[in-house]
Chain A
Amino acid sequence: MTRDDDTPSPMPAPDDVADAAEKARARAFGDLIDKVVAGRPPAAVPADERALLEVATVIRAATRPVELGAARTRSVVEAALATAIERKGGGSRLTDPSLPVAGVVPLARVRARRLAPWFIAGVTSAVAAAAVLVLVLRPAPSRDVEAAPPPVATHLRSRPADALIGVIARAPSLDVAGGATVSRIDTIYADRLAGFRERTLSGATRRRGSPGTKGGGP
Chain B
Amino acid sequence: MTRPTRQMSRLILAALVGGVLVALGFACSGESDRREGSVTRITAPEDAIDESLMIALSQAKNFHHKARVYMSDGQLPLATTTVRQILAIPFPAGAPEAEDVQLDARAMLAKLLVAQGQVDAAMSIVDEGLAAATRESFFVANLYTVKGEVLQAQAELLVSTGQPADGDRAREVRKQAIVAFDKSIAINEALQKQILEGK
Q: Please state if B195 and A144 are interface contacts (CB–CB under 8 Å).
A: no
Once the chains are docked, how many angstroms separate the CA of A124 from the CA of B58? 63
Q: Smallest CB–CB gap between B28 and chain A, Å?
A: 6
Per-residue CB contact flags for chain A residues 134-173 toward chain B (1 = under 8 Å, else 0) read 1100000110111101101000111111110111101100
Mark A89-113 against chain B: 1 for CB-CB distance below 8 A, else 0.
Answer: 0000000000000000000000001
A174's nearest neighbour on chain B, judged by CB, is B115
Contact A174 B57 (CB under 8 A): no
Per-position 1/0 for B19-50, Cβ under 8 A of A? 10110111011001000111111111101111
Q: Are A178 and B97 in contact (CB under 8 A)?
A: no
* Least CB distance, A106 to chain B, in whole angstroms: 14
Of B50, B58, B191, B195, which is within 8 A of A218 by CB? Answer: B58
By CB atoms of chain B within 10 A, which of A113, A118, A124, A146 has the most?
A: A124
Residue of A nearest to B199 (CB): A163
Is residue B182 within 8 Å, beta carbon to beta carbon, of the partner chain? no
Residue of B nearest to A166 (CB): B138
Secondary structure class of chain B's binding surface, majority of residues: helix
Asked whether B7 lies within 8 Å of A175 as measured between CB atoms, the reply is no
A36 at the interface (CB under 8 A from B): no
Residues of B within 8 A of A123 (CB): 18
Asked if B141 is an interface residue, CB under 8 A from chain A, the answer is yes
Tell whether, in the assembled complex, residue A196 and residue B137 are in contact, meaning their CB atoms are under 8 Å apart. no
Q: Does the CB pair A196–B54 fall under 8 Å?
A: yes
CA distance A127 to B18 in the complex (A): 9
Contacts of A195 in B (CB 8 A): 49
Compute how far the CA of A178 lies from the CA of B137 in the bound complex, rounded to whole angstroms: 20
The stretch that binds B, out of A23-31, A52-60, A183-191, is A183-191
Say whether A38 faces chain B, with CB atoms less than 8 Å apart: no
Q: Which residues does chain A contribute within 8 Å of B104, judged by CB atoms? A: 181, 184-185
Among B44, B99, B108, which residue has its beta carbon within 8 angstroms of that of A149?
B44
Interface range for A: 35 or more
A127 CB contacts on chain B under 8 angstroms: 18, 21-22, 25
- Find out whether the CB atom of B108 lies under 8 angstroms from the CB atom of A196: no
Within 8 Å of chain B (Cβ to Cβ): is A18? no
Q: A195's closest neighbor in chain B, by CB?
A: B49
Residue of A nearest to B189 (CB): A167
Q: Which residues of B contact A160 (CB under 8 A)?
A: 96-97, 99-100, 135, 137
Name the segment of B65-73, B118-126, B171-179 touching the other chain.
Answer: B65-73
Is there a chain A Cβ closer than 8 Å to B53's Cβ? yes
B40 touches A182 (CB 8 A): no
A45 within 8 A of B: no
Contacts of B154 in A (CB 8 A): none
**Shortest beta-carbon distance, A174 to chain B, in Å?**
5
Contact of B50 with A124 in the complex, beta carbons under 8 Å: no
| Smallest CB gap from A133: residue in B | B25
Assembly CA distance A114 to B53 (angstroms)? 73
In this assembly, does A81 line the interface, its C-beta being within 8 Å of a C-beta of chain B?
no
Taking a contact as CB atoms under 8 Å apart, the answer to whether B14 and A158 are in contact is: no
Contacting pair B97 A161 (CB below 8 A):
yes
Beyond A174-B71, A178-B67, A181-B108, 16 extra complex contacts between A and B, CB < 8 Å: A113-B7, A121-B14, A124-B18, A127-B25, A141-B36, A141-B39, A145-B41, A161-B100, A162-B100, A165-B139, A167-B191, A181-B107, A184-B104, A189-B57, A192-B54, A192-B97
